[in-house]
Structure formats: C-alpha cells, structure tokens
Structure 1
Amino acid sequence: MESNLTIKPVTPPAPYLGGKRNLAKRITARIAGIPHRTYVEPFVGMGGIFFRRTTAARAEVINDLSGDVATLFRVLQEHYPYFIDMLKWRLTSRAEFDRLRALPADRLTDLQRAARFLYLQRLAFGGKVRGRNFGVDRRSAGRFDVTKLEPMLADIHERLAGVVIEKLPYADLIRRYDGSGTLFYLDPPYWGCEADYGDGFSRADFEMLAEQLSGIAGQFILSINDTPGAREVFSRFDIEAVETTWTIATASTGGGQRVGELIVSGGSG
C-alpha cells in the first residue's frame, strides 16, 4: 500500500464540545501508523483530529450530520475569498453574539450560515453547540479577530483541497466508503451527552455503531469517554484507557478536570 503524504498540521477553526486537543498527538500518531489509502471521519466536528494529522491519505472524507459544520467546511473549501470578505468587519460583541444566535440558520445563505456558525463557535463558552453562552475571559483579547483568523483560515482552505465533504448519517457514510484500504476515525458524542450536539444520535446508536464496525472491511479508531456503558458496548474490540483533561470545567474549577477516555480500535486490516 502506498505511503501517505507528510503534511503540516493546521489549527481547527473554532473550539467544539468534545474536541480532542489534549489527545490529538496520541491519536494522530496511531493514525499515521496504520497503512491506508482512504481516510474517513464520520463525526468530524471542528476537525480536532483531522486538521492536526501529520499525514494525508490519497483519498480523504470528512462528514458531519450538522448542516452548520458541513456548510462551514464547504464554504472554506469553495468560496474562501467571499467568506473572508464577510468576516472583515465583525467584532467581539455580546450584542452581535445574541443577534446571530437568535437567527434561524436554515433561512440564511451558505455564506451567511458559515459566518454565523464560525462567529458563535469562536465566542461560545466551552465550544458548546446547544445552549451557547457568550464566553468571557478577562485575561484575554477578544476571540473574534479577523487579523488573526485570516491566516489560520487560509491554511484550512489549502488543507481542504481535494477533501470530500459529506453530510450523511454515520451508518450510510461507513457503508459508502468502507473497503480494505479504508481507515475510519470516529469521535461520536460522549456517552451520556448524546443530545448535546443536536438531534441525530441516541444511546441506541452506540450499539448499532459497534455492530456495524464489527463487520467492516477496513480498520477503525474510535475515541469516547470512559464509562461502564461504553466499555460494555465496545468490549469486543481492543480498548486502551487513557487520561486527559476536560477544559470546559475551567469556569468553575479554575483548571481542567482530569477524565478518562477510551481509544477503541479494530477492523479487518
């Protein structure tokens, strides 16, 4: 199987609930160590792993059932200059945050929707997707600064060249792209937090996902919070327990909370 291309990691565009910043080095090293021609992420979110990888496969697919996520990456891929123009005059403002949060996303153009989503995610406390609140840190400058955002978004635009962007249910995506040379990285909602990202994933989906992964022709790596339920559902696969920091706890504790995570792997490779 051909070697994958060595690439420079880039910074994800915004915080996202369940982002893998503190586990990225470990997970990306595992990905780089598994030979594959096609790389697929069914739950890409803000690309906490995708953008931090150090290798690129011949074919790459990112997917999220969220219309906001899929639209943002498609706009960054296809309409980058127009998107930057839309962002130029936006400032970090609680009033603007509240105004955009109240707008129904499905009534906006793709450019407007992408700009709204990026603005809200950059400024929302803890990278929350539902129940967003305006995040404040008295020690830091405003988090929506186009002079700093523009070079980062330019790197993302370049990284997305040739990447297939899908908006499918995870099961359909896995069926469509599975094969002997495919590697899936899956970052589903945390156990117990299934509704935090919106509709489209329930507790029953964990068992259905495990069953589907047990029959794929490719290989997979999956990360999830360490709970008895997750251990039971994914017990048929190889499981490594690791410790990481959950930074959303900083508002109440003044520091990250140490939590357990599972890195699950398997497949037919």
Structure 2
Amino acid sequence: MNTIQLELYNESLQPKPILKWAGGKQQMLDILLSNAPKQFNKYIEPFIGGGALFFALQPDQAVIADSNPELINLYTVVANNVDELIALLKEMKNSEEDFYKIRSLDVTKMSAIEKAARTIYLNKTCYNGLYRVNRKGQFNVPFGRYKNPNICDEPNLRAASVVLKRTRIVQGDYKDILKEHAEPGDFIYLDPPYLPISKYSDFKRYTKEQFYEEDQRELAEEVDRLAEMGCHVLLTNSNHPLVHELYGKYKISVHQTKRYINSDASKRTGEDILVKVEPQKKLIIIPKPVELPKQMEAFPATRYMGSKQSLLKDIWSVASAFKFDSVLDLFSGSSVVSYMFKTQNKQVFSNDYMAFSSCFAKAMIENNKYMLTDNDVKTLCAPNPNADGFVTETFRDLYFCEEDNNFIDTVRANIKMLKNEYKRAVAQSALARACLKKRPRGIFTYTGHRYDDGRRDLLLSLEEQFIEAVTQINSAVFDNGKANKARHGDAMDVRFKADIVYIDPPYYSPLSDNEYVRRYHFIEGLIRDWKGVEMQWHTKTKKFKSYPTPFSTEKGAYDAFNQLFKRHRESILIVSYSSNSLPTKDDMLKLMAKYKTHVEVIEVDHRYSFGNQGHKVGDNKNEVKEYLFVGFDR
C-alpha cells in the first residue's frame, strides 16, 4: 500500500525529473499532489514523459510506461546501470561540434547505456529541451547554445535510480499497459498529448504521437473503465471544449500554466485542465448459495405463469448484497417473491394489476395474523339459499362439474358474511387456489378435461380442494413485525417508496403472448365477482376482455421500463426478464443506466412451467436464460 503525505513538494528531499520534457508537470506538482489519493495500491503512469509526479511520489510499487523507446531505455538504464551512465555523461562536452556529432550517431549501433547518455545529453543541450524527430525518426532539434547546462546531475540521477529500481518500466501503448496492469485500488495518472486550442481538424503532431479526437474519446472510455474498476485517476489536458464534453461527469478544475517551449512568447501561457476521478465503489454481484428461512416452506406452491418459485434463491442472493429494509414488488403475481422478502423480515409493498394476485398478497403478505377457523370453514361451505348461481349458469360444462360449480357459488355467497377483510382475502385466495388445482394445467384457455392425467388434484372435489387450500394458506400467515401492504392497481401509478424495487412484468415476445387474463380469466372474475369486466359472451370460454397493458408491444414495453426506472430511480432496482423477450439485454442495460450509476446483469438458467409456444424458439423446450438486471448507485 502506497501512502503519501499531502504536503508541498520539497525539492531537497525528492528526485526530480531527469529530462526537461514538453508538457512536463513540474509547475503543477503541488496541485497534482494535493489531488492525489492518500492511499493506493500501486502507481501507474502510461504517458511517463518527464515523470514529475512519479518522482515526487516515490511510490513503493509502480508501473511507468511510454511508447517512446528512447525514453523507456533511459529509465531502464538509470534503474540498472546508473554508475556507467554517469561516467559517460561526465565525458560529454557542451559544444556545438560535439552536439551535432552526437546527434548524428546511429542509435541502432549503440549500447543501451550509450543511447541513454545520448538522450540526456541532447535533452540538456538542445534548444528548449524539446524532443522532436523527423519522418525517419531522427532527432532534429538544433543546438541550444546554453552556457553551462547540467549535463550530468549525479545526485539526482542516483536518487532517481533508487525509485526506478523498484519500478516496472515498460514500453507500449497506454491501453495495453492499463489492460495488463491496472487493478482496483491503483492510482493512475494520465498525461496524454494535449488537444490544441483550435478546431478539431487542426490537430498537429505532438512529440512522436498523434492524438486526434477519436484517440481522446478512446482515452475517455478507458477512464470510465478504470473508474468502474475502482481505480483512482488523475488526468491532465488542455482547456478544450472536447475535454469538458468527455469528462463532464467527473470533477474538473482549470489551472493557469506556462508553455516554456513555444518560440512565441505571447503564446507561452495556457490553461490546463485537471480531471479527478474518484474510484467507483464497484459492487460485483455474484449469486452465491443461500438458504431461505424455514417459513418459506409454508408458501402454497402453485403452477402460475411466470412464477419465480424456482428462482427465489437467486433473487435473494442478489438482493442480500445490499443493506435494505423495504421492498416494492411491482408485479407480485403469485406473491411468492413478496413472501420470500417477508420471511427475510423486510417491509413489503406488493402490487399487481390482477385482482386475484392482489388478493393472494392481501391474504399472505399484508395479513400478519388472521386465519380461518374451523367454524369459518363450516360457514363458508354451508348451503346458502341466496347464492346467485352465476358460475353454475355461465360456465356450465366448461371447466367443472355441476357439483363443483354449485360449491363455488355457495362459497361466493358465504364469503360476504365474513366481516374481517383479511379473512375474506384468505377465503377468496383458497377458493381461487382450489379452482387452479382442480383445473388440468391450471389455466382456462380451453374447455373440457382433455388434459386430465388422473392425478390426485383432479380426483378431489372442489370442496376438498378448498379445505386443503385454507389449511395451506392459514399455515402461510405469519407476522414479520412489519406493516406490509398489498395493492391492486396499475404498476405505473404506484406511489410506494422502498429501498429495493423488484420488477417482474409480463414478458413481451413476438413468439408468444403474455395475456394473464386469457389464461386466468375465470379466477380473476371470481375474485372480482365479475364486476367491472367486459364479458365476451360469444367466446367458447366465456372470457372477458383483457386489460390494457404497455407490455403487449415492444415499444410499449420499452417505454414502460423507461418510465418505471425513472420513477423509482432513488431505489435499488432488480428486474427479472427473459432472454427471449424484448427489449433485449443490451437495451435493458442502456435503459437502466440512464437512471442508475451502475448496472449489472446476472444470468440464470431457467425452464418455465408455462410457455406452450416454446417450440417456436428453436425447439428450446422453454429453456431460456432468466436475466436479473440490477441497478444501483454507489
């Protein structure tokens, strides 16, 4: 771990840059040090140049790099052969004749130490310390005519050598360097070739590199990646509109600086930008094995389209990565996810646009203590002369036998005698569950009993199914000490505020429908007592018109997700969605990223119990990826 004291740079105690370098940061050193992190793992500078900040920090662990081979050779020699280098430098003279003789040497025939000595010599004696090469890669800066340049600064070379010995020195492209070496907690300083203060089309060659607009944009993408990884980043550049555009999300400060290498004195002032990127506290969510509370076993299992019964551990594994007290389940369906959160002692707000789903939530989520007694059950099953016979007459010979239809009408009439709203919800839920269990495949899209496979659920009378359902739902009722709420209504209008918002909407796919009403119209009508629905009397199944939903089209689903993410942007978002549905995974990630600073997706193998259109998706037998999109702020 590197630790620095945020004090002014003390030149007497620190090695200084070995070279005078175009764009060197000696004059900004106090600013850079005051913005550097107090602690970091290792230091990385992939555009090392003169290395002013590197030498000031003297990090214990560091990687320095540059694409300039002569520069990297110099630092390598200073690290490993400083004595030999000093000896050569002491022999070199500051004369025009020696300068041009040394400048004209063929570096390909020189040793590493000789090349390093040449680099320092030319830098100290050439005009303004400028590094510039011609098209052949040959150094072409003229003699500087300085009276007494310090060609061999022995104390500084030895001090620099101490730091460089413990440093990894690499030649290469900055992206390759960062990809290989950058890790969470590292401190990365980026001092790329600057943007000129002119139109983008006026980019000029800067030292040996070209950094055009596209290069600057690539660099900004790399900064975003480093921030997501959890790195500390400082970046310097010129005060150019494009720099503000690229780094507007980060802290930017502007500083007056001097341009020593410009031959025009009027242009030797400028404004440098410092971009400070705090590491984003990356939370990598990896589903891990979890065990659910024993109470979860009491939830009455059912075959319900889109039920997340088999995904509960995955959902809890993701949710448990966060600290939270409350959950909003926007599309509660069977209420199994709401119930799972309730067993974890969270306050649960449950919502669904289907009345029977909301009834389940009323009975087992909002209800903390009320159960049906044996006397209540006897009363509910007792003949009632006031029963209206609606089910018996309307659905004769469609789904159930005459006896079962009569029983449904009896219980419908008797439920109204229960004064307690939660007992009524338990009774209605038990009746709905009995109808689902008694019905082959648990749906009402067909009539008759052609899917009767002789299993026990189909052999029991509906009254027997009802009594069993009451027992199961009674067992599911428990008090988690929270004021839980169940709501029946449009998810787009929910006003509940919660720490986590779980979204499991109808999945839109052009390959199959997501009409819950078409599958469950009978039990939906049962809970609503067929009030406020538009019956389609001409249909064989005697269904009613489906509710309007934005999730019936691709555009509608996209717009609905966008609206939901925007409305609940203050909460942690967890979204269940399928790999064969639209919007696509990439679209969902982009949508969520509009409102959350960090988005992850966890993929889970899943087989749906429903989805008889599965053969249309490449004969996948309903085997798809279930996505859990997670959006949160750091």
TM-score interval (norm. to shorter): 0.7 to 0.9
Matched, 1:18 2:23: yes
Moved over 3 A (4+): 5-8, 199-203
Q: Secondary structure at the match of 1:197?
A: coil
Of 20, 35, 38, the match for 1:30? 35
Matched with 1:160 is 164
Shift of 1:221: 0.3
Q: Map Cα deviations across residues 40-93 of structure 1 (whole Å, 9 max, x no partner).
A: 00101121221123xx44411111111011000000000111111211211111
Aligned pairs, number: 258
Matched with 1:127 is 129
Matched with 1:268 is 280
Residues 55-204 of structure 1 aligned to structure 2 (within 5 Å):
56-130=58-132, 131-137=140-146, 141-146=147-152, 149-192=153-196, 195-199=205-209, 201-204=211-214
Q: Map Cα deviations across residues 196-249 of structure 1 (whole Å, 9 max, x no partner).
A: 221464442111010111012112100011112322233333211111122224
Q: Could you state the TM-score of these two structures normalised by the residue count of structure 1? A: 0.87
Higher CA-based Rg: 2
Aligned counterparts of 2:114 and 2:156: Cα–Cα separation in 1: 19
Aligned counterparts of 1:3 and 1:211: Cα–Cα separation in 2: 26
Q: Secondary structure at the match of 2:40?
A: coil
Evaluate the alpha carbon distance shift between residue 18 and residue 256 of structure 1 in structure 2; reply closer, same or farther with a 3 A threshold. same
Matched, 1:238 2:272: no
Matched with 1:222 is 235
Shift of 1:105: 2.7
Aligned counterparts of 1:261 and 1:48: Cα–Cα separation in 2: 16
Q: 1:247·1:256 contact (CA, 8 Å) conserved in 2? A: no
Q: Could you state the TM-score of these two structures normalised by the residue count of structure 2? A: 0.39
Q: Map Cα deviations across residues 133-158 of structure 1 (whole Å, 9 max, x no partner).
A: 22235xxx321443xx1112111112
Matched, 1:207 2:206: no
Identity of matched residues, %: 23
Name the amino acid aligned to 1:209.
Answer: L
Name the amino acid aligned to 1:99.
Answer: K
Q: Secondary structure at the match of 1:49?
A: helix
Q: 1:224·1:262 contact (CA, 8 Å) conserved in 2? A: yes
Structure 1: unaligned runs, 5 residues or longer: none
CA RMSD of aligned residues (A): 2.2
Shift of 1:5: 5.9
Q: 1:40·1:185 contact (CA, 8 Å) conserved in 2? A: yes
Name the amino acid aligned to 2:89.
Answer: L
Q: 1:184·1:219 contact (CA, 8 Å) conserved in 2? A: yes
Q: Map Cα deviations across residues 93-147 of structure 1 (whole Å, 9 max, x no partner).
A: 122222222234333211111111111111222221114122235xxx321443x
Aligned counterparts of 2:141 and 2:246: Cα–Cα separation in 1: 31
Q: 1:37·1:57 contact (CA, 8 Å) conserved in 2? A: no
